[in-house]
Structure 1
Amino acid sequence: MDVLVIGGSRYFGKRVIALLRESGHRVTVLNRGSSGVPDGTGHLVADRDDEAALESVLAGRSFDVVLDQVCYTPRQAEIARRVFTGRVRRYVMTSTVEVYAYEDSAGPVPESALDLASVAVDTGAAWDDPEFRDAHYGEGKRQAEAVFAAGAAFAWASVRVAHVLGDDDFTGRLDHYVRRVRDGEPIAVPAVNRPATYVYVEEIAAFLAWAVEADFTGPVNAHSHGPLHTADLCAEIERQVGGRTVFREVEVGEVSPFSFARSYGMDNARATELGYSFSHSSEWLARAVSDAVGAAR
């Protein structure tokens, strides 16, 4: 297949590209040119926010599948929906667990918990402002999904990715815990601290590569079995580096990353029904922590 990957040439994106190439697919990466692409991979340079530039660079080109790693706003989704009409058979958007920001279910949340038809799309918001976009990350993804779901002329799917742990984590979230546990510094958590679903970096790369080759449509939750609590992460860190976990419960104010006052548990039954077998978090948690420990030294 001819596969176009938009953005995402770092972290798990580079792993997806490698897996697709190993499977024999012809892979082209489209980005702004600020970062290179792996050897043997095609390269198109354009700003995805510039519709005319996209039309120009894609002139005469078509693809079997697009994997969009960097669609963050409804405005970007609308541009993509127009530009790729007639140029692609299937479009896979990398989304996020954050689309469930308004859910607080006692049990794992299925894809149907979010009715995309009811999502209000506001393309006039300040989506070009990086601070606004970052502050409305989950909402931007919700609205982007809603744009595609409302009437794309190609088959469309979204992969709602859980919190990712593992090597090359540029967010520094697990590193935050490693340093604080090692040094015995307090970790701010909500008074009622809920578990969340996670996925290892290698596993989400494998799932996205699988999704490119699959033919399902609509949203699918992607995460390992076995939700994790903040205490689970800290217990593994203690096992590897020693130190002492000191939790400081706060009623209001900022808490540590991976500490949640509401449930962030997704239900991955649909992915299982589609034929994908996720691992259990207990199979890779030690590796993920080891990655973070090495980075914190």
Structure 2
Amino acid sequence: MRRVLVLGGTQYFGKKLVQKLIEIGDEVTIATRGSKSDHFGANVKRLVIDREKKETMAAAFEDKEWDLVYDQSCFSPIEAKDTAEALKGKVRRYIFTSTQAVYEFGTLHEEANFDPYTYQVTYKSRKEYPGYEGYKEAKRASEAVFHQLGYFDVVSVRFPIVVSEDDYTERLKFHVDKILADQPIGIPNPELRYSFIHADEAAHFLLGIGNSTFEGPINPGSAGDISLRELVDKIALLANKEAVVENSNTSGTVSPYALPGSWSIDTSLAEGLGYKFTDLNHMLDQLIKYYMQ
């Protein structure tokens, strides 16, 4: 039986990952601020930590060891360094949930397009990383800390946009609801392109990569990408409606996917390692139909 520590694990695909770990018989510990309830009952152990307070992690991890750590809740290089120091010598393998946002705006990025081993880190707290540009810098610097310190075998999983029937952000559902209601959607640049992954497949990938010997950055997700125009047209076709798209940033109407630029990834490395993902158009079609109902 492996001993697995999950930092976070009480929200979205983190919950799905914990459930999968329980089902395969791992001894699972979740470490959170303790502010959210979970449904795992006696199937997990629990630790209370604050990622912004190093002393809480040092106390919680004292005299403990794990075979594997999944980090779902790191949002600054200070947190990365403090966590790594607190877990030094206690862990062999570390899976960090990162993002396609570590890349510059653009499409079909390969893993080599951002190198965490050479990135120069400026240490700031999570409050000092506002907006999408801040999120990009925070995740870049966090990746760099884990890989450059070399305390564990590290994997940085660069997820694209995560979607599912139970997506709490409701960003894809936003578009479906607007089109069904004949309401306008603000999309200043309809040609921007994005990659996606289903939340169930995100959790399954984390489980698999944790069981592997792979080290380094990796892009999981459905192959290819889709533009906002193509996505809206797809919804309109399935709903038998006309989409009303405006060049607008008005609050309440602007698409939550109307980011400053395209972000999409090349998933061929993950596919080459044998990981399977649902076809992008099929996945989106199924989710759109679900939201329509």
Same fold (TM over 0.5): yes
CA displacement, residues 83-110 of structure 1 (integer Å, 9 cap, x when unaligned): 111010000000011111x2435xx110
For 1:268-283, what aligned pairs fall within 5 Å after superposition?
268-283=267-282
Please name the residue that 1:91 is paired with: 94
Please name the residue that 1:140 is paired with: 138
Deviating runs (4+, > 6 A) in structure 1? none
1: CA distance between counterparts of 2:120 and 2:250?
Answer: 29
Does residue 266 of structure 1 match 2:252? Answer: no
Please name the residue that 2:62 is paired with: 59
From 71, 74, 91, give the equivalent of 1:71. Answer: 74
Deviation at 1:283, TM superposition (A): 2.9
3-state SS in 1 of match to 2:63: coil
Q: In 2, are the aligned partners of 1:183 and 1:243 still within 8 Å (CA)?
A: no
Structure 1 residues 283 and 24 mapped into 2: Cα distance closer, same or farther (>3 Å)?
farther
Please name the residue that 2:193 is paired with: 195
- Over the matched positions of the two proteins, sequence identity in percent amounts to 30
CA displacement, residues 173-197 of structure 1 (integer Å, 9 cap, x when unaligned): 1122122111222222234612211
From 94, 103, 106, give the equivalent of 1:104. Answer: 106
Bigger mean CA deviation after superposition, 83-92 or 226-235: 226-235
Does residue 43 of structure 1 match 2:46? Answer: yes
Bigger mean CA deviation after superposition, 62-71 or 217-226: 217-226
Q: In 2, are the aligned partners of 1:166 and 1:287 still within 8 Å (CA)?
A: no
Deviation at 1:262, TM superposition (A): 3.5
2: CA distance between counterparts of 1:268 and 1:119?
Answer: 22
The alignment yields a C-alpha RMSD, in angstroms, of 2.3
2: CA distance between counterparts of 1:289 and 1:71?
Answer: 31
3-state SS in 2 of match to 1:75: helix
Please name the residue that 2:121 is paired with: 121
For 2:183, give the aligned amino acid.
E
Q: In 2, are the aligned partners of 1:77 and 1:148 still within 8 Å (CA)?
A: yes
1: CA distance between counterparts of 2:190 and 2:70?
Answer: 38
For 1:166, give the aligned amino acid.
S
| Structure 2: stretches of 5+ with no match in the other structure | none
Aligned positions, number: 288
Please name the residue that 1:28 is paired with: 29
TM-score computed with the length of structure 1 as normaliser: 0.88
2: CA distance between counterparts of 1:260 and 1:226?
Answer: 18
Structure 1 residues 261 and 83 mapped into 2: Cα distance closer, same or farther (>3 Å)?
closer
Structure 1 residues 285 and 20 mapped into 2: Cα distance closer, same or farther (>3 Å)?
same
Q: In 1, are the aligned partners of 2:189 and 2:258 still within 8 Å (CA)?
A: no
2: CA distance between counterparts of 1:26 and 1:35?
Answer: 21
2: CA distance between counterparts of 1:133 and 1:242?
Answer: 35
CA displacement, residues 205-248 of structure 1 (integer Å, 9 cap, x when unaligned): 11111122111111101111242222343344335544321122
Q: In 2, are the aligned partners of 1:156 and 1:218 still within 8 Å (CA)?
A: yes
Please name the residue that 1:81 is paired with: 84
3-state SS in 2 of match to 1:256: coil
| Structure 1: stretches of 5+ with no match in the other structure | none
Structure 1 residues 43 and 133 mapped into 2: Cα distance closer, same or farther (>3 Å)?
farther
